[in-house]
Structure 1
Amino acid sequence: MALNPKELRFVKANGIPWETVGDGLRRKVFTYDANLMMTMVAFEMGAVGSMHQHPHTQVSYVESGVFEITIGEEVKVLHKGDAYYIPPNILHGAVCREPGVLVDVFTPMREDFIE
């Protein structure tokens, strides 16, 4: 039986399995409740987080790697230690320039990430 990360108070990264979510993309849902969700997304070099939008507010932290991030009409290259903010309903996406990991936080939680 898969681990249900809902309302986990302490999360061990190695205790949560990776889920393949696209070509060169894997995700872990760390913990969440109705108001907040934290995830981790691993990108292989060249992997693309397709342009999309959603009603959630999002902040993301570049845990490792190099990413070209597009938010609306603006494009920036971000490195390990950088972060970005995405308001609700703004078109955004990512292209991985060097393999790495993004830590994403959403409010409210992403119901579409939970099976």
Structure 2
Amino acid sequence: MTHAPQYNGLSGFLAPDGVFHECAYQEHKNLAVKLVKQYNVNFYDGDSNKVPNFIKFGCYPWVDKIGNSGCHAFGHDEPTSDQAAWLIANVDRMTEVQRRQILRDLVFWEIDILEVDHDTGTDNRQRA
């Protein structure tokens, strides 16, 4: 009998260059400090929820695929083209809550999400 792996969604930061930096639960602050130095980020006030030009993902370790009351995904700036491409290609790795938040933000910034299957969170370009 095979068991499906526990689903935890994404936890970490998506950098402006489209590289996802994963971290464990409650490790965002430590990772944020490293990324601020690595990417020479200006105007960082120490709040890991507000790292300029990064998109933050977080989940409680016990969250399920839906992610209700246990996860988030947000950025405060318009996603770069590299970030948008990564987000669209990786929506299937997110919890449903994270996916809804990301797709909402992409629509807000008028970024084309027509290739994304909104029910399954998969990038339809990969199915062809």
Q: TM-score, normalised by structure 2?
A: 0.33
Higher strand share: 1
Pick 1 or 2: higher relative contact order, CA cutoff 8 A, min separation 6: 1
Normalised by the length of structure 1, the TM-score is 0.36
- Which is greater in Rg? 2
